[in-house]
Structure 1
Amino acid sequence: MLLGTGTPSPDPDRSGPATAIVVNGTPYLVDFGPGVVRRAAAAQQNGVRGLAVVNLQTAFLTHLHSDHTAGLADLILTPWAVGRNRPLRLYGPKGLSWMTDHVLKAYREDIRIRSNDKRRLGASGYADGIKVDVHEIAPGVIYKDRNVTVTAFAVDHGDVPQAFGYRFQTPDKTIVISGDAAPSQSVIDACNGCDVLIHEAYSLKTFATVSPAYQQYRLKHHTSSRQLAELAGKAKPRLLILYHRANPGAVGAPNPEETVLQEVQETYDGKVVTGHDLDVF
């Protein structure tokens, strides 16, 4: 399920990047952009019971850019405030531990006050629910339980030291998420006929409108619609979902959804859709 499909631009219709893989009622998050917890609550109200806020206990981070991490405090604190009684497990690149430690320090007064309140109210497990178990990862299998096997793979995201995509193997499906990435052979290898490939893209139409310097930035960090069509032709997913649609860089600038989709379809004949917040696949 797509919880957030946005970019750094504050589009009111798209929360920050966040994807939920829900297996047997258990959610696994990829990224935690702005609005992640409220989008999960909205999903529960829409009938996805596994996304009850207190169930948000396992999350994977693609990279440390702020649009993918600005919901970290929310993910740590809000589910705990309303009853999560188990530690939050986080998996991601080097630097995630430092970030998490400083979020906890920044909110230590809130945590102290709420812990006292929970103790007086007789809440169970409150001391565990605020804990965060962080794992800084390398490519390979990084997580496994009865529902999923999660494999991390490195992707090319320009100057970002560590950027990962993730492959989720469930009992009946294989789902691959690119994260932010320029065209990367690792995505093709991870998918290799997967059921679902969720991949970022930008429009060649908007690419032509930005400065040469910004064009070079895009080429290093992201994947154009035409490049994605070529990549998907090699990866051969049963369903390609476009998300994290890069915009021209200016707040409020046009970000043509149908144009990106049409550009991909010009040279890719597989099944492809544009993702929106709260879409279920």
Structure 2
Amino acid sequence: MKTQLVLLGCGTPNACPNASGPASAITYGEDSYLFDCGPGIVRQAAKAYHQGIDALSMDRLKYVFITHLHSDHTLGLNDLILTPWVLERHEPLHIYGPKGIKAMVEHLMLAYQADIELRIHGFEQADAKACQPIIHEIEAGIVFQNDTVKIEAFAVSHGEWPCYAYKIITPDKTIVISGDTCPLDLMIQKAKNCDILLHEVYYAAGLAQRTPAWQKYHASMHTSSYALAKIAQAAHVKLLITYHRIYHMNIQDNHEDITVKMQERDKLIEQEIREIYDGALAMGKDLDVYE
């Protein structure tokens, strides 16, 4: 068996036509562990399954770990709770996340209460227990461990509410997933010599063209290409993968070829990183698989 990192969505809050909301999966054998739950996560998991990732079949989507409660990282939660259940997942979904995740999920379940009741008591006779998620509000430390996988949450900085990155250790890989964060020395410590660091990033030159207010916001909430390069170089990561790339361009303008513009910005972000970091580097795309 081998560990696989599957990028289900590399996007941001922008409604980008070729990047689903932030979500990734780590698989080992028949087991899968999801990290963040952006829009489109279930359909993306289905695509990956049909491309040969058996651990992402609907009945195996049992664990999700949320970095923070921003909408772009959680809008897929109702889909993940209900769709695999409708497709006959016979176990409840375990949801791990910061304080506030319990209230969020309880409200989602109330919103769909009529649908749930009809599916359970109507013609479908669906499994009542399997649709009730098990919620774990976490603090920093080891939040999950079984015979093959250990998952540690550690606090990062992304505004005023609790946010966590995750360090996942399997028999053959150590992978760190940043979530959204400004640059931290702790990231260097936790990612030291890891096999893969999956980290958010913004285009530094692009931010310099924006208003002072936006510059202040992004500099305090996210990680620039140069700051990320310093982290990866200092941590000696074996592979740096960027996702949740903030391009600082108008993705909503349909007069532009967005795909071409994003490819251009990817190259520019890569150039900025390469000014400092000389290790292995990938600009992650939806449905990329890394082993």
For Structure 1 versus Structure 2, the TM-score category normalised by the shorter chain is: over 0.9
Q: Secondary structure at the match of 2:34?
A: strand
Partner of 1:71 in structure 2?
76
Partner of 2:57 in structure 1?
52
Give 1:236 deviation, angstroms: 1.2
Of 255-264 and 20-29, the range deviating more from structure 2: 255-264
Residue 138 (1) aligns with residue 147 (2):
no
Q: Which runs of 4+ in 1 moved over 3 A?
A: 120-123
Written as runs of structure 1 = structure 2, the 5 A alignment for 1:183-194 is 183-194=183-194
The runs of 5 or more residues in structure 2 that have no matched partner are 1-5, 254-260
The residue type paired with residue 83 of structure 1 is E
The residue type paired with residue 63 of structure 2 is T
- Per-residue deviation, residues 205-263 of structure 1 (Å, max 9, x unmatched): 21122111000001100000001111111111100000000132644365411111111
1:18 to 23, 48, 55: 23
* TM-score of the pair, normalised by structure 1: 0.95
Give 1:152 deviation, angstroms: 0.2
Of 53-62 and 97-106, the range deviating more from structure 2: 53-62
Give 1:12 deviation, angstroms: 0.9
C-alpha RMSD over aligned residues? 1.3
Please say if residues 119 and 125 of structure 2, whose CA atoms lie closer than 8 Å, have aligned partners that are also in contact.
no
Partner of 1:129 in structure 2?
130
The residue type paired with residue 39 of structure 1 is Q
Residue 202 (1) aligns with residue 211 (2):
no
Residue 43 (1) aligns with residue 48 (2):
yes
The residue type paired with residue 266 of structure 1 is E
For residues 180 and 93 of structure 1, what CA distance do their matches in structure 2 show?
A: 13
For residues 247 and 160 of structure 1, what CA distance do their matches in structure 2 show?
A: 24
Residue 279 (1) aligns with residue 280 (2):
no
Q: Secondary structure at the match of 2:216?
A: helix
Q: Secondary structure at the match of 1:242?
A: strand
**Aligned length in residues:** 276
Partner of 2:180 in structure 1?
180
For residues 147 and 279 of structure 1, what CA distance do their matches in structure 2 show?
A: 23
* TM-score of the pair, normalised by structure 2: 0.92
Give 1:72 deviation, angstroms: 0.7
For residues 160 and 132 of structure 1, what CA distance do their matches in structure 2 show?
A: 27
Q: Secondary structure at the match of 2:116?
A: helix
Partner of 2:222 in structure 1?
222
Give 1:121 deviation, angstroms: 4.9
For residues 55 and 166 of structure 2, what CA distance do their matches in structure 1 show?
A: 20
Partner of 2:93 in structure 1?
88
Q: Secondary structure at the match of 1:267?
A: coil
- Per-residue deviation, residues 157-198 of structure 1 (Å, max 9, x unmatched): 1x2320100000001110000100100122111111000000
The alignment-based identity, stated in percent, is 44
Please say if residues 3 and 40 of structure 1, whose CA atoms lie closer than 8 Å, have aligned partners that are also in contact.
yes
